[in-house]
């Protein structure tokens, strides 16, 4: 096939199942592909030209991955929009409105037919309305109707891409923001691959673990209720006298339960109950019951049936950004699976997991974003809390509490005295956090090191001055301050992690090792056993490359704990 594109071009793409694809690049280069030739042609373009694909959202990435294409480079307009504008809301209509400077508070909607209107038979021929907004019928799927519509949709995507590139260039965080846009786009593509590939799980082992908590798979609803009552009895049997309608699933009921044995608590959080294990045997029984209840309601047999495919892979839906912090998130329990179930996450025969976890990432990120030379020096220790503790003259545990407290806005409690020491020992880092807090308290928006907008102004309800009591206003401002200072660290940490993940994804492609889980600051790769050492080295080297790409000339040292394991629970 004679292609109208050249090596490394930026190519916008719009695809539709059963219709085909349309491609658009600078210089009015276009290509239309029907459904029969699409797959082969896209694979040829990817292999021979290595383009940067431009698409509106992860839905296109999902389509291409399902069709067998694994693009090396991309630009996701939705992901970059969230970077520029903040929050998690996106979509073609909102993206285009921002591109044209239009009001997004009243985006056009497809009007539902009612008694007083006639249905419109003809679809709008133009994608743009007279007011400049994208027509909602096109957004709703009309762009998929034929190759001509796909061509228009691809051309609009290319236009938005150019505008986003220009907007990123205008940010004070340039050129970091341009790099963040690429890593955010790569993370969106990775999400599509994580959904398609799934996480290997040994179903038989998972069922054995579940059974150890809640018993065998129930035969029906009545059997399930009987097993739940038996689990409840293991707690309630420790109470004297009549039980009444005491409900273990209600926090008020649990407080009443504890009061009966002489234990008063302000709440029933797990960490608080852990401290009371020695007070009465019912506490231990209650904590054991809670684990079983969580397995039963969230990670039980229904969970396996719903989310594990016939290929033995656990699948959920992935998002490249959770909003302000920009962290990757997932459904189906992939991000909050109990540790007790990790033995069931087992590499397939002939394969192993390469697992890596970024060490003490948040304080290292703080050292980088604040340019605090003294804190940066501490990062060259494998355990950076040790030199911090020595500098402050406190124990390591107190130093850790103080550093984390500074980032989360906690100024009282166990690390309060050490926190004051931080202000004199690391004034640049503490001033950076304080400046972010003050800006957030005023309701001013923030931007992370990588250019992500953290909205503070839009988080407030409409209120006239004087409507809110002074004490409540101060409390809200303080909450904004804590949120703002934390978002500046958490957001930057998410940027670093996704840069690292994008590098690992690219470098591991030739050895057929794939990321199968991104969990906070942890990567889990599924690799052929013979390639495990190579994959592990790529992961480790990727931390240093990510540091260079994301942090530039910083003197901060980033580290990762990397291991080759057979099952997830083998990680230390």
As a whole number of angstroms, the longest Cα–Cα distance in the chain is 85
User: How does pLDDT run across 68-120, given as a tens digit for each residue?
Assistant: 999 999 999 999 999 999 988 899 999 999 999 999 988 998 766 555 545 54
Which pLDDT belongs to residue 459?
47
Helix (H) or strand (E) holding 350: none
- pLDDT tens, 509-541? 999 999 999 998 999 999 999 999 999 999 999
Residues 6+ apart with CB under 8 A from 242: none
Q: Are 470 and 507 in contact (CB under 8 A)?
A: no
Q: How many CA atoms lie within 13 A of 353 on its CB side?
A: 27
Q: Tell how far CA 430 is from the center of its chain.
A: 27
Question: What DSSP letter does each residue of 470-525 carry, written as one string?
Answer: HHHHHHHHHHHHHHHHHHHHHHHHHHHHHHHHHHHHHHHGGGT-EEEEEETTEEEE
Average pLDDT, the chain: 92
Q: Give the pLDDT of residue 461.
A: 40
CA 21 – CA 24 distance, rounded (Å): 10
Asked if the bond preceding 49 is cis, omega within 30° of 0, the reply is: no
- Half-sphere exposure of residue 319, counting CA atoms within 13 Å on the CB side? 16
Which residues of the chain fall below pLDDT 70? 111-122, 324, 411-416, 458-468
Reported as type and span, the H/E element at residue 13 is strand 10-16
Quick one: pLDDT at residue 240?
80
Q: Which domains does the chain show, CATH number per domain?
A: 10-170 (3.30.420), 203-304 (1.20.1060), 316-360+495-570 (3.30.70.370), 362-494 (1.10.150.20)
As a whole number of angstroms, the distance between CA 483 and CA 324 comes to: 10
Instruction: Name the one residue in this structure whose structure tokens are 């008020």.
Output: 252
Break the chain down into helix, strand, coil percent, rounded to 5.
50, 10, 35
pLDDT digits (tens, 9 = 90+) for 213-229: 999 999 999 999 999 99
Q: What is the pLDDT of residues 145-164, one digit of tens each?
A: 999 999 999 999 999 999 99
Instruction: Print burial letters for 275-291: b (CB count within 10 Å at least 16), e (below 16).
Output: ebeeebebbbebeebbe
For residue 322, what pLDDT is reported? 82
pLDDT at 121: 46
| Residue 257 and residue 240 in contact, taking contact as beta carbons nearer than 8 Å | no
Q: Which helix (H) or strand (E) holds 346?
A: none
For every residue of 360-383, which 3-state class applies, written as one string? CHHHHHHHHHHCCHHHHHHCCCCC
With vertex at residue 492, the alpha carbon angle to CA 486 and CA 496, rounded to the nearest 5 degrees, is 145
């Amino acid at each position: 096939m004679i292609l109208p594109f050249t090596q490394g071009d930026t190519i916008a793409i719009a695809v539709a199942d059963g219709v085909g694809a349309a491609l658009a690049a600078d210089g009015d280069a276009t290509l239309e592909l029907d459904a029969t030739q699409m797959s082969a042609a896209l694979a040829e373009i990817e292999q021979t030209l290595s383009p940067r694909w431009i698409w509106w959202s992860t839905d296109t990435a999902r389509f291409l991955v399902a069709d067998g294409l694994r693009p090396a480079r991309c630009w996701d307009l939705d992901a970059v929009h969230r970077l520029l504008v903040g929050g998690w809301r996106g979509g073609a209509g909102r993206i285009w409105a921002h591109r044209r400077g239009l009001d997004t508070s009243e985006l056009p909607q497809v009007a539902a037919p009612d008694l007083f209107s006639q249905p419109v038979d003809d679809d709008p021929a133009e994608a743009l309305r007279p007011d400049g907004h994208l027509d909602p019928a096109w957004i709703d799927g009309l762009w998929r109707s034929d190759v001509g519509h796909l061509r228009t949709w691809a051309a609009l995507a290319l236009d938005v891409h150019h505008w986003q590139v220009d907007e990123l260039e205008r940010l004070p965080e340039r050129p970091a923001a341009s790099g963040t846009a690429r890593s955010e786009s790569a993370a969106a593509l990775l999400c599509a691959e994580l959904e398609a590939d799934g996480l290997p799980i040994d179903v038989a082992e998972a069922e054995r673990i579940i059974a150890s908590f809640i018993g065998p798979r129930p035969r029906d609803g009545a059997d399930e209720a009987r097993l739940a009552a038996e689990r409840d009895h293991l707690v309630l049997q420790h109470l004297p006298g009549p039980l009444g309608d005491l409900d273990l699933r209600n926090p008020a009921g649990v407080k009443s339960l504890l009061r009966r044995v002489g234990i008063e608590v302000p709440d029933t959080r797990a960490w608080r109950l852990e401290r009371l294990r020695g007070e009465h045997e019912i506490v231990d029984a209650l904590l054991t019951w809670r684990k079983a209840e969580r397995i039963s309601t969230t990670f039980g047999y229904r969970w396996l049936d719903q989310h594990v495919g016939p290929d033995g892979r656990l699948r959920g839906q992935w998002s490249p950004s959770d909003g302000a912090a920009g962290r990757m998130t997932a459904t189906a329990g992939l991000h909050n699976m109990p540790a007790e179930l990790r033995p069931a996450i087992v590499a397939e025969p002939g394969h192993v997991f390469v697992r890596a976890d970024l060490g003490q990432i948040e304080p290292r990120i703080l050292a980088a974003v604040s340019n605090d030379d003294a804190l940066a020096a501490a990062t060259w220790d494998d355990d950076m809390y040790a030199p911090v503790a020595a500098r402050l003259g406190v124990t390591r545990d107190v130093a850790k509490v103080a550093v984390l407290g500074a980032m989360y806005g906690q100024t009282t409690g166990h690390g309060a005295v050490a926190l004051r020491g931080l202000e004199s020992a690391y004034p640049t880092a503490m001033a950076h956090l304080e400046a972010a807090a003050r800006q957030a308290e005023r309701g001013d928006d923030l931007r992370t090191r990588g250019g992500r907008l953290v909205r503070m102004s839009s988080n407030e309800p409409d209120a006239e001055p004087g409507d809110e009591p002074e004490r409540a206003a101060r409390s809200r401002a303080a909450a904004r301050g804590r949120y703002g200072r934390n978002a500046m660290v958490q957001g930057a940490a998410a940027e670093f992690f996704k840069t690292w993940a994008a590098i690992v994804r690219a470098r591991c492609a030739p050895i057929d090792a794939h990321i199968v889980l991104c969990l906070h600051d942890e990567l889990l790769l599924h690799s052929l056993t013979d390639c495990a050492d190579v994959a592990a080295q790529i992961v480790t080297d990727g931390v240093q490359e990510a540091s260079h790409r994301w942090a530039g000339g910083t003197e901060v040292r980033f580290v990762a704990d990397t291991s080759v394991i057979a099952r997830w629970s083998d990680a230390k």
